[in-house]
Chains A and B, each alone.
Chain A
């Protein structure tokens, strides 16, 4: 049950694209297509933005997309907007009804 590895921080200017990686093992990210991503603004509860690797809940713009290769999933946010500034967490199913989160990435919009 080791945490998934995410970069501590990323940044980009409005309109640009940024990518946040999430690296696990064959027992979690690499073993299942059950990776999800959450956005958390300061003082707020997390919000689901991606599930089952690359599906978006209703209301989440298609500027958010995910790809997965092997033990690494990557969230790309295109057309950066000021409101995208937040913490982002990946999460993966790890078998036997357990899940594991990444350490989180702080996105700064310059």
Chain B
């Protein structure tokens, strides 16, 4: 059974940093593109970033470029998202998802909440 478990969310002040983690199991992690997708409270889904199977290339939505960094450790079956220079508008549930292609997201974690507030 595929499982994706996110952790690392919490309350942080504007301008602060957080590191999110996603531990994967039940599938060959190194064979998948991986993504982070976020959802602000009461709002829709927004793709944030993805990373190729071997970590060689990374892609970001414009609003987080230069502030967020996606990475992975295939030996540990883990995906990460470093969030720096956080803003109030980054407040959201952050989901880790497998991405086929990158055409679609086939498996999702339950999400971790990041709240940016003073």
Contact = CB atoms under 8 A, between A and B. Distances in A.
Interface of A: 1, 3, 34, 36, 38, 40, 45-48, 51-52, 57, 89, 91, 93, 96-104
Contacts of B52: 97
Contacts of B103: 34, 36, 51-52, 93
B95 A34 contact: no
Contacts of A91: 45, 47, 104-105
A108 to B, nearest CB: 16
A46 B101 contact: no
Given A47-B108, A97-B50, A97-B59, A89 B44 contact: yes
A93 B59 CA distance: 13
B15 interface: no
B1 interface: no
Contacts of A57: 106
B54 interface: no
Contacts of B62: 1
Interface in B81-118: 95, 100-106, 108-111
5 contacts: A1-B61, A93-B102, A96-B59, A97-B102, A101-B37
A23 to B, nearest CB: 15
Interface string B40-74: 00001111001010000101011000000000000
A102 B104 CA distance: 14
B75 to A, nearest CB: 23
B106 A46 contact: no
B105 A46 contact: yes
Contact of B104 (A1, A3, A34): A34
A54 B108 CA distance: 20
A45 B108 CA distance: 7
A22 B103 CA distance: 16
B87 to A, nearest CB: 17
Given A45-B111, A98-B59, A104 B44 contact: yes
